[in-house]
Structure 1
Amino acid sequence: MSVLVSVCLLLASLVGCGARLGAGGVQADVQRLLDRRAQAVLDHDAQTYGSTGTRAGFAEVGAVPLASWAYRVTGVRRSGNTATADAELRYRVRGYDQAPVTAGRTLTLTRSPDGRWSVTADRPAPKSADQLWDQGAVRVVRGQHSLVLGVGQSDGQLRAYASLADRAVPAVTDAWGTNWPGRVVVLVPRSLDGMARLLGSPASSYRGIAAVTTGETGAPAKAAADRVIVNPDAYGMLGSLGRQVVLTHETTHVATRRATDAATPLWLSEGYADWVGYRGSGRTAAQAAPELQRAVTDGEVPTALPSDQDFGFAGDAGRLARAYESGWLACRMIAERWGEARLRAFYRAVGEHRERAGAVEDAMRTTLGVSLPDFTAKWRDYLRVQLG
């Protein structure tokens, strides 16, 4: 009896080992398949790409100048002759990305009678954002300092974005300095919904927002490049100055990303970007800050600099506008009273702190020579003079 039990246990062990090896074997097979598929993308080899499964995605991404494109399979769930693979797609845009952009992907696969796997679908993983080519064929326009990628946009429309971005880059360099790459990638989806899908968020969060910049705050030198993502619905409603201000504002975020940290309050990062955007435009405080002017003339001068919560896209539109205008005028006041070099130094000094507590206070004391209460009082007086 004991021998029979031992034999059964041994068989169970062998079966268990066989199941694990089989799963590992499938994952290895899928990895090899995706390696071939990735190389075909880089080689613009439609025939090899088609031999790995569905041709979907090949034409859509074909115009994008890729320096690298690779999948890393992180898991496979198999059911008979079908399987679902979880993978990380890592890619770099040539001349712009210093490190790979990583995107979560879910792939479905089928196995043929001869045992070969093929891809039947490749889509964003749950809770992962779209890539632009998930939304259609990508058109590409190269500027002097920019690369504009669009879906559902004409070449003429994309050239207009490139022209604005090419003016934004030197304007930002003149204000911030040369310690950034001096180039920008702009993504222009078909609509607000497309923008939201690129950001992995509901469209309602960005209604009325002309553009946003993605990127990692405090990123190292070799971090993946930022992307300026345009909402063509809201952007199209702006005049020529407004469009330029928006692209310059977003480009400023790209330039300042390495100096921006968790310690940097939004009033400073957004206010500085607006200051660079309006710099040299000739716009008066009243022209560029209408919501805040209405509050000041009604006797409602803000008692404190705006909090991060005041910048929530999904909140009250008037409150959001006043937050941006308040941050802009705080940076404008620093540039006028202490000089542009001190404004840059203050921004960098805040970002050198690892945490929010005390960062602004310390940077104000060391670079501007004032306390936060004194600065706030000067700022409130400045609002009264400029907007009252």
Structure 2
Amino acid sequence: MAVRTQDARRERTRRRSTAGAVLAALLLAPACAGPQDSAGGLTAREVGAALDRRATAVMAHDTDAYLAGLDPRAASFRAAQRTELRNLADVPLESWAYKVKDVSDKGEGKVTAEVELRYRIKGYDKAPMSSSRTVELVREGKGRTWYIAADRAADGAPGQLWQQGDVEVVRGRSSLVLGVGRRESELREIADTADRAVPAVTGTWTEPWAERVVVLVPESVEDMAGLLGSPAASYRDIAAVTTGEVGGGGGRAPADRVIVNPQAYALLGDFGQRVVLTHETTHVATRAYTSPATPVWLSEGFADWTAYRQESRTAPEIAPELAEAVHGGDLPAGLPTDEDFGFGEDPAKLSRAYEGAWLACEMIARDWGDEELIAFYKAVGSSAGRDGAVEQAMHTVLGTTPQDFTARWREYLGDQLG
């Protein structure tokens, strides 16, 4: 989801860094039946009981009870866990729970459990965030008590902000900003910008949504990448991303987080920062109607359309890369594909994809109307799968075909950018 700044001194950043991107399905979905016996006789229920005690201690901020559930011999792990619990102290948790997915007996009184951490932030999350964890437990002495000896992100799963340092909490009218290693004044400015974004999105997206947004601000792009479970190189020029599970198109929205890259975000002016957070907040608002059937050009274009419609910028100012291509006679043959939005793409090509997506939504709003654009978005997202979703929605909502739509879009590009 690219939003570009027009500051010539930051040309490279303008091309790639003023954008966020939906990382749909970044957090693993819940999956587990009832408890099952492991090979050594330990049941998932017993592991669950140990984790339940851990969860109760987290919610109570009870350090003694929290440490009592840890392996007494794991001194460094206990010290790290004490710090982690302290880092969570100011986060307004509404719930914290674990779901056991699998237990493997490692022999000699040791087991490894694959679990899912589920938590909610009070006043912001209607559904829990989820994070896949790998937990190691050991049994000490002659008793049947099992102690946690290790707790880490599962392979390929992202880490959590409180594992990176003490979490500073700043509350806005409609936003909650959680930061690590950043100045409070910086977090306050981000909260103020997010507070402006929420009503701007509500004024555009007519479906009910929480009208609240949670923003995470890690200390560095490396820490940002850790929260996304991806290499830092993928995000160095990206100002913000929105994470969460895509909805099913039926109005149920899982919890979302907007994650800011503090270095890239700081390079933007007020305009760029405002557009970035409005764009990302749009993804939060529309998540319930964004599904695997939704092409990236539609989700990104709609988010850009929402962000830019509040601003007095011309099409060539907003879409300079595409304008340059059109002037040079290089008019796109078709709408951007999902692959065109990959972070590994050439910066200019990536910008053209976002710009073309924005202009597609602009054209729908101009020729069919704002309400029809929203109805089209919902109709696509409500489809059972990608095949035929756009074609059917174009037919039922817009009364057109993909071929006609593409031809009109190409003509629109020429009119707006030529």
Q: TM-score with structure 1 length normalisation?
A: 0.89
CA distance in 2, matches of 1:337, 1:126: 47
Residues 173 and 182, structure 1, Cα contact 8 Å, conserved in 2: yes
Residues 165 and 184, structure 1, Cα contact 8 Å, conserved in 2: yes
Where in structure 2 are the equivalents of 1:88-127 lying within 5 Å? 88-113=116-141, 115=143, 116-127=145-156
Distance 1:296 1:79, change over 3 A: same
Amino acid at match of 1:180: W
Amino acid at match of 1:38: A
Query: Is the aligned partner of 1:157 residue 2:174?
Result: no
Post-superposition offset of 1:22: 8.6
Q: Which residue of structure 1 aligns with residue 387 of structure 2?
A: 357
Where in structure 2 are the equivalents of 1:106-185 lying within 5 Å? 106-113=134-141, 115=143, 116-185=145-214
Deviations along 1:175-212, one digit per CA (max 9) or x if unpaired, are 01141111111111111111111111112222311111
Q: Which residue of structure 1 aligns with residue 49 of structure 2?
A: 32
CA distance in 1, matches of 2:405, 2:263: 38
Post-superposition offset of 1:288: 0.8
Residues 149 and 186, structure 1, Cα contact 8 Å, conserved in 2: yes
Amino acid at match of 1:298: G
Residues 66 and 91, structure 1, Cα contact 8 Å, conserved in 2: yes
Residues 188 and 232, structure 1, Cα contact 8 Å, conserved in 2: yes
Q: Which moved more, 1:147-156 or 1:280-289?
A: 147-156
CA distance in 2, matches of 1:21, 1:133: 32
Considering Cα pairs closer than 8 Å and 6+ residues apart, tell me whether 1 or 2 has the greater RCO: 2
CA distance in 2, matches of 1:32, 1:364: 52
CA distance in 2, matches of 1:306, 1:75: 44
Where in structure 2 are the equivalents of 1:365-380 lying within 5 Å? 365-380=395-410
Query: Is the aligned partner of 1:239 residue 2:269?
Result: yes
Secondary structure at the aligned position of 1:176 is classed as coil
Residues 176 and 344, structure 1, Cα contact 8 Å, conserved in 2: yes
Q: Which residue of structure 2 aligns with residue 297 of structure 1?
A: 327
Post-superposition offset of 1:297: 0.7
Amino acid at match of 2:311: S
Query: Is the aligned partner of 1:85 residue 2:102?
Result: no
Post-superposition offset of 1:71: 2.1
Secondary structure at the aligned position of 1:23 is classed as coil
Residues 109 and 117, structure 1, Cα contact 8 Å, conserved in 2: yes
Aligned residue-pair number: 369
Distance 1:81 1:302, change over 3 A: same
Secondary structure at the aligned position of 1:170 is classed as helix
Secondary structure at the aligned position of 2:105 is classed as strand
Q: Which residue of structure 2 aligns with residue 48 of structure 1?
A: 65
Deviations along 1:37-56, one digit per CA (max 9) or x if unpaired, are 21011011112112222224
Structure exhibiting the larger radius of gyration computed from Cα positions = 1
Deviations along 1:67-113, one digit per CA (max 9) or x if unpaired, are 11122333143443554433221211112222222211123344444
Q: Which has the higher helix share?
A: 1
CA distance in 2, matches of 1:85, 1:282: 54
CA distance in 1, matches of 2:68, 2:181: 29
Deviations along 1:144-168, one digit per CA (max 9) or x if unpaired, are 1111111111221111111111111
Q: Which moved more, 1:369-378 or 1:144-153?
A: 369-378
**Structure 2: runs of 5+ lacking an equivalent:** 1-36, 71-77
CA distance in 1, matches of 2:39, 2:401: 66
Post-superposition offset of 1:138: 1.4
CA distance in 2, matches of 1:22, 1:271: 51
Q: Which residue of structure 2 aligns with residue 187 of structure 1?
A: 216
Post-superposition offset of 1:325: 0.2
Q: Which residue of structure 2 aligns with residue 288 of structure 1?
A: 318
Residues 254 and 288, structure 2, Cα contact 8 Å, conserved in 1: no
* Percent identical: 55
Amino acid at match of 2:54: R
